[in-house]
A = this chain, B = another copy of it.
Amino acid sequence: MELPNEMTQMAAEVHESIMNYLEYGKYAKLRQAMKHYPEGGGKRMRPILAMMVAEAIGRNSKKAVPFGCCLEIIHNFTLVHDDVMDKDPVRRGRPAVHVLFDEPTAIIAGDALFARAYDILSESEVDGEALRALVHTVSETVYLIAEGQQMDIDFEGRQTVGVEEYLEMVEKKTAVLFACAAEGGAIIGGGSERQIKDMKECARLFGIGFQIWDDVLGILGDSKKTGKPVGSDIRNGKRTLIIVHAMENLKRPSKDRDILLAALGKEDATDEEVKAAIEALRRTGSIDFVSSKAKEYTAEAKRLLQCLPECKEKQMISQLIDYSVNRDR
């Protein structure tokens, strides 16, 4: 499943705005470090969501462009810092900022992107009180993202993680920025309190669904489309919701637990071992659990769309939500 053409077009426009906004500052090296991830592309889902909500409610998607770019730049700033913390050398097939430059430059570039994002936000053509609401929701959101990243880092050092706390981490690391996008779009569109609240919740659920679908793709995804080998999350020992669910539900001792542990985090596991581990996850119900959980979240998200008037953008958001749990990459 692919995104509708109109969204691809919007993504291209947003990309151009972002790159223009980042032609700023007199220090070429810092500017280059800041532009490195944004110029690498991305789906631009957050700005697109904000713009479509503003259009659906107030017919003014253009007014949401600075806000959308602000969120996308914030998203990129968190990626730059996350990659430093995780010592991740590659992002979207290109060297990470801290590899292309160095760690201090990556930390500074992240900070500078964050500052630039707020400066762009301040240029929004909305009245001062709407701007106040936007500054508040963006700030609260970035705080929650920081909590989510802290949870993620702290999970690394732990033996076990529960399904509930894993979902909280996913919500904070990913879904809150989707929620902020839709909330801000509704504010910019001049929506009612109810519309602002419902669209925020709609996008929160959508964001969780979107993110945990990644976990399904990491195990079942077609390597040609995801760009990762089949079952790569298993060999890497990545802690995904599927694994968290399985570890919580597999009896100790049990044959399926042994089969899973024989491949989990073993870079040299054979294809047969990985395949057997996937079958064990299937028998435990972990794959079903996560894919149906993803679909539950998105179904509820779609239900909340009823706060919007009937229009093309409402249909497109609905398609975007469907896409999030049907995409194969």
CB distance from A121 to the nearest CB of B (A): 7
A74 and chain B: residue at smallest CB distance: B115
Q: What is the oligomeric copy number? A: 2
Q: Note all chain B residues with C-beta closer than 8 A to A138.
A: 118
Q: Note all chain B residues with C-beta closer than 8 A to A110.
A: 111
* A25: contacting residue among B78, B127, B135, B147, CB under 8 A: B147
Complexed CA–CA distance, A248 and B290 (Å)? 65
- The stretch from A26-34, A56-64, A230-238 touching chain B is A26-34
**How many residues belonging to A are interface residues under a CB distance threshold of 8 Å?**
48
In the assembled complex, 9 residue pairs joining A and B whose CB atoms fall closer than 8 Å, in A order, are A78-B111, A84-B107, A85-B108, A108-B146, A112-B146, A115-B143, A119-B136, A127-B128, A128-B131
* Sample of 18 more A-B contacts, CB < 8 Å, known A108-B146, A122-B136, A131-B132: A27-B147, A27-B151, A85-B104, A104-B153, A105-B150, A108-B150, A109-B146, A111-B114, A111-B142, A111-B146, A112-B142, A115-B142, A118-B139, A119-B140, A121-B135, A123-B136, A128-B128, A131-B135
Q: Top 9 closest A-B pairs, CB basis?
A: A128-B128, A119-B139, A115-B142, A112-B146, A85-B104, A118-B139, A122-B135, A122-B136, A115-B143
What residues of chain A have their CB less than 8 Å away from a CB belonging to chain B?
24-27, 29-30, 78, 81, 84-85, 103-105, 107-112, 114-116, 118-119, 121-123, 127-132, 135-136, 138-143, 146-147, 149-151, 153-154
